[in-house]
Amino acid sequence: MNSFRSGFVAFVGRPNVGKSTLTNALVGSKVAITSSRPQTTRKAIRGIRTEETGQLIFVDTPGFHKPKTLLGKRLNNVVEETLTEVDIICFCTPANEKLGPGDQMIIAEIMKFTRPKKFAIVTKEELADKKQTAEHLLELSQAAQWDEIIPVSALNGTQLETLLNLLIQNAPEGPKLYPDDALTDESFEDWICELIREAALERLREELPHSLAVTVDEINYEEKKIFGSMWVERDSQKGILIGKGGALLKAIGTEARRSIEEKLGEKIYLSLQVKVSANWQQDPKKLERMGF
């Protein structure tokens, strides 16, 4: 009789290589927000998948990058701390891109860790032809010693079951760590903040996503009312976020409310305001107040 396996799996890689999309696809539900903007993921988001043979806890980490702010340094620290605690590290790299200096840096960091098993996952396979994918797999095999190398498409579902089975087989023997129906251990407030930020990221210009943070100020459970704040660093950014006649703020609020209602299965009232906190990305106290 096969014994039950359970373990923590970390997805690491440069920003915007498909880590959050892959996490959501493997969990079978949206637990991490996705966007084409770099630095979409700012915390280690945990998604949970339970099968008859095992339970995997996926940790979607912020993208490893060269930090320009204290926030950036803390995001990299989140990745490094996560890698010391997991059973399997999955390095993610898109099929349609060659390995660059950033990838080589991350691979070198991963290989410093001796205990976790190491997978190389070629993401976004749907964007590459067979020749490109084959070349990328060869490049990865020459870059380091991996326990597994596997191409997948989170969008099309290609090879996801194969990846899932390989991860369970490589996880250590152990009991279930979460109930069967658990999909994430993220708090309700953090989850709301992420959905609001996702709605904002889809509508903002390039310079603003890094400067944007979201907090929940109050939740009235009886009346189903949520009050939140979106934080920027300058008055000019506040104007951008509000938009002409408040149009952009209203659009962000509408989209965020729809996302929250879709997950909760009931109607809610959402009120958003925009606040300025100068240089919050560089201020330790301000970062702590915003949950970093």
181-218 pLDDT, tens digit each: 888 777 778 888 888 888 888 777 655 556 788 888 88
**CATH T-level assignment (fold) for domain 188-289:** GMP Synthetase; Chain A, domain 3 (3.30.300)
Domain boundaries, the chain: 5-170, 188-289
Considering only the top CATH level, what class is 5-170? alpha beta
List alpha helices for 99-229, DSSP H.
Answer: 101-110, 130-143, 160-170, 188-201
pLDDT digits (tens, 9 = 90+) for 18-54: 888 898 899 887 666 554 444 444 455 678 899 999 9
- Please enumerate in sequence order all residues whose Cβ is within 8 A of that of 203, keeping only pairs 6 or more positions apart, or say none: 248, 251, 252, 255
pLDDT of res. 124: 94
Which residue has better confidence, 28 or 142? 142
d(CA 251, CA 164): 37
Q: Which amino acid is at 241?
A: L
pLDDT digits (tens, 9 = 90+) for 58-116: 887 655 545 555 555 656 666 667 677 889 999 999 999 999 998 998 899 889 888 89
Round the average pLDDT of the chain to a whole number and report it: 83
Task: Name the 3-class secondary structure at 11.
Answer: strand
Contact criterion met (CB below 8 Å) for 213 and 259: no
Q: 84: how many CB neighbours lie within 10 A of its CB? A: 10
